[in-house]
């Protein structure tokens, strides 16, 4: 029943003739990738360690052992990124009914239909949204080092999607909100 409803929404959206730039879609795909990576990493034991020494030897011929937290290792993050684009099957293109702005909507959250689905009109393309997976692969291939370095940082912060998708990869236009501003010594306008 849920699938039939989604198909109906998609057909209605097609009839309304929505179109988006690839940059706009990549922006939302990039943000979804960041969210999916954050969720996958949060499921891992943060104290689990990984040996990243390889086959390096010191001057005396002894093996050099180096351990890092698993969730910060390049191997773990790379393997995670290789699988993350499969998650794009859980998303649909949509526009908000209130303002017509484009978004990607994850259909199922915590085993239930996304409550925001009533706020959007779904946009179905001819390939049943398979292009989202292709955009995901392109975003990751073009920016794999950016993603790895960002997720290896000791503190990830709240604006990781903006740091990666806007500041580094330049898919999105928004910038982080400056929460604190020192008005001391500033003239009023």
The answer to whether position 162 is within a domain reads: yes
The answer to whether position 115 is within a domain reads: yes
User: pLDDT class for 36, splitting at 50, 70, 90?
Assistant: very high
Predicted local confidence at residue 34, as pLDDT: 97
- Residues 89-140: tens digit of each pLDDT: 999 999 999 999 999 999 999 899 999 999 999 987 776 678 899 999 999 9
User: pLDDT class for 54, splitting at 50, 70, 90?
Assistant: low
The answer to whether position 14 is within a domain reads: no
Q: Please state whether 93 falls in left (phi above 0), alpha (psi between -120 and 50) or beta.
A: beta
Number of domains in the chain: 1
Pull the structure tokens for residue 76.
């773990």
- Residues 131-176: tens digit of each pLDDT: 899 999 999 999 999 999 999 998 888 899 999 999 999 999 976 5
Q: What is the mean pLDDT of residues 23-41?
A: 96
Predicted local confidence at residue 176, as pLDDT: 55
- Residues 170-188: tens digit of each pLDDT: 999 976 554 444 445 445 4
Q: Is the pLDDT of residue 12 over 80?
A: no
**Which range of residues forms the domain containing residue 99?**
22-166
Q: How far is CA 15 from the centre of its chain?
A: 29
SS3 at position 85:
helix
Q: Is the pLDDT of residue 39 over 90?
A: yes
The answer to whether position 173 is within a domain reads: no
The answer to whether position 2 is within a domain reads: no
The answer to whether position 7 is within a domain reads: no
Predicted local confidence at residue 18, as pLDDT: 54
Residue found by looking up tokens 């969210």 in the block: 35
The answer to whether position 183 is within a domain reads: no
Cα Rg of the chain, angstroms: 21
The answer to whether position 109 is within a domain reads: yes
SS3 at position 93:
strand
């Amino acid at each position: 029943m849920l699938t039939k409803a989604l198909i109906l929404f998609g057909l209605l959206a097609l009839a309304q003739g929505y179109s988006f730039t690839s940059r706009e879609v990549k922006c939302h795909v990039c943000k979804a990738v960041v969210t999916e990576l954050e969720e996958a990493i949060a499921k891992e034991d943060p104290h689990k360690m990984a040996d990243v020494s390889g086959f390096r030897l010191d001057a005396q011929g002894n093996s050099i052992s180096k351990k890092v937290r698993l969730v910060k290792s390049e191997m773990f993050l790379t393997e995670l990124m290789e699988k993350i684009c499969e998650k794009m099957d859980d998303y649909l293109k949509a526009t908000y009914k209130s303002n017509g702005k484009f978004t990607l909507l994850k259909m199922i959250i915590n085993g239930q239909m996304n409550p925001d689905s009533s706020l959007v009109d779904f946009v179905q393309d001819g390939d049943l949204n398979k292009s989202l997976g292709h955009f995901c692969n392109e975003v990751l291939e073009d920016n794999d080092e950016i993603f790895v370095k960002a997720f290896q940082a000791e503190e990830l912060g709240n604006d990781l999607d903006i740091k990666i998708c806007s500041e580094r990869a330049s898919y999105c236009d928004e910038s982080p909100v400056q929460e604190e501003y020192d008005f001391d010594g500033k003239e009023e306008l």
